[in-house]
Amino acid sequence: MRAKKRARQLPGSPALRIATIAILTAVTAVLTWLVRIPVPATKGYFNLGDTVIYFTAFTLGPVSALLTGGLGTAIADLIGYPTFAPISLFVHGLQGLVAALIAVIPLGGKRSRGTFGPSWIVAAAAGTVVMCGGYLAAETVMVGFGAALVELPFNLLQNLVGALVGISLSLAVRKAYPPVLELRW
C-alpha cells in the first residue's frame, strides 16, 4: 500500500492568519511611531517597537514575529523616516524570527520549552545582536561608520528595555488571556 503523505496543516484558517498579521502589524507600527517614551537623561526618545517584536516572538511564534516585526516597523518608518524603511523591513523581521526560533529551544530542560527560561534570555540577546548588527552594517553603507556608531548605544539600550518589557508583557498577557497561545504561528 502506498503510504500517503499527510499534508502539513498550517495553524488556523487563512482568515485567522491574515487577521493576526494585520492587527499585530498595526500594533507594532503604532507603538513604534506614535508612542514615544522620553528619556530625560538624554533628552531623547525611545520607541516600543522592539518591545512588541519580542512580545510577538515569545507569544505568537516565528512567522508572526518575522512578518509583523518587519512590516510594522517599515510602515512606521514610511510615515516618519522613509529612508530607513527597507532596512527596518529586513533587520527587525530577522530580529523577530531569530528570537522566536531560539525561544522554543528547551535550553533549561524539557519543561522549560515555550515558557520563560534561559532560552528566552538567549533569544533576546540574539535578537539584540541581529538588530544592532544589522542596523550598524546597513547604516554604515547609508550614512558612514561614524554616524552609524553613534546610534549603536541607543539601539542597545532600546533592545535591552524592549526585551525586558517584552518578556514581562508576554508573561502578563499569557496569564491574563491564555487563548492568545492558540494564535501561535
Residues lying near other proteins in the complex (CB under 8 A): 12-27, 29-31, 34-35, 37, 39, 41, 48, 51, 55, 71-72, 75, 78-83, 85-86, 141-147, 149-150, 161, 164-165, 168-169, 172-173, 176-177, 180, 183
Minimum distance between the CB of residue 119 and other proteins, rounded to whole angstroms?
22
Rounded to whole angstroms, the Cα distance separating 160 from 138 reads 21
Minimum distance between the CB of residue 19 and other proteins, rounded to whole angstroms?
4
Minimum distance between the CB of residue 100 and other proteins, rounded to whole angstroms?
16
Minimum distance between the CB of residue 110 and other proteins, rounded to whole angstroms?
28
> Which neighbouring-strand residues pair with 37?
46
Q: Contact, 165 vs 53, CB < 8 A? A: no
Residue type, 74: A
Q: Compute CA distances 72 → 28, 48, 97, 142, 148, whole Å.
A: 5, 11, 14, 22, 22
Sign of the C-alpha dihedral, residues 73, 74, 78, 84? positive
- Measured from the CB atom, the residue of 83 and 153 that comes closer to other proteins is 83
SS3 label, residue 81: coil
Per-residue cell: 61: 511564534
Distinct helix (H) and strand (E) counts, the chain: 5, 2
Rounded to whole angstroms, the Cα distance separating 91 from 78 reads 15
Minimum distance between the CB of residue 142 and other proteins, rounded to whole angstroms?
6
- Measured from the CB atom, the residue of 3 and 41 that comes closer to other proteins is 41
Minimum distance between the CB of residue 79 and other proteins, rounded to whole angstroms?
6
